[in-house]
Amino acid sequence: VTDSTSHTVLGVVLRVRDGRLEVQLADGALPAAGLRAGEGLDVALARAVEVDGLAHVEQLETRVLEGGGLATAYLGLRPGGDADGDWQPVAGLPGLPPGHAALIAAGQARLRAKLSYTNVGFALAPAAFTISELREVYVAALRHDVSATNLHRVLVRRGVLERLDGLRAPGRTGGRPAALFQFSTQRLEVTDEFAALRPPQR
């Protein structure tokens, strides 16, 4: 006794640019594609957003929409790069369709949590960066201040960051040249799995 309903796939694609967390929109709404019979959800997602540019993708949530149709939302993350498409700061977006704002909030919350105990940062950062630049990304995504000193040490200790050879020349105002870093892995890894209740050592 199963009825049939249409299914939509929505993309919540986030990036950090100029110190602001931005979401990609299409015609004033989250990019979407209808699911066709027999295809996987990822196929429909690829029709909704340019999935090649995404450094990380994960499913967020499935919900029944107001009209009665179903929608599955995905979180996509990509480096700050340059302009292509309609990017808007996540703060205070007016006129979104019902439910879209909640999905953006869910994506932000997920990102925020995973920044703390995984290496997701790789998906928002460029290939090479200074600690200051990475700090800007973390500040924008976490929405609280982050000390460059401690960010450096935490991520290096966890083996998340690797030092590169070059140095970044200082700007016109001077200052010591900054070391360049990269994320050691471009795939999601849990770096702090058992913050508590970890298994016995032996």
- By CB under 7 A, name the binding residues for DNA: 130-132, 147-150, 152-154, 157-158, 167, 169-179, 192, 195-198, 200-202
For the chain, state the CA radius of gyration. 19
Give the nearer residue to DNA in terms of CB position, either 59 or 132.
132
152 binds, among its own copies, DNA, none (CB under 5 to 8 A by kind): DNA
User: Taking Cα atoms as reference points, which of 38, 190, 200 lies closest to residue 114?
Assistant: 190
Residue that is written with structure tokens 């200051």 in the block: 132
187 binds, among its own copies, DNA, none (CB under 5 to 8 A by kind): none
In whole angstroms, the minimum distance from the beta carbon of 51 to its own copies comes to 17
| Nearby residues of 63 by Cβ (< 8 Å), 6 or more positions away | 70, 71, 73, 99
Q: Which SS3 state, helix, strand or coil, does residue 137 take?
A: helix
Neighbours of 35 (CB within 10 A): 19
Give the nearer residue to DNA in terms of CB position, either 132 or 186.
132
Amino acid at residue number 7: H
Residues making contact with its own copies (CB under 8 A): 1-8, 34-41, 59, 61-64, 68, 70, 72, 113, 115-117, 138, 142, 144-147, 151, 154, 192-197, 199-200
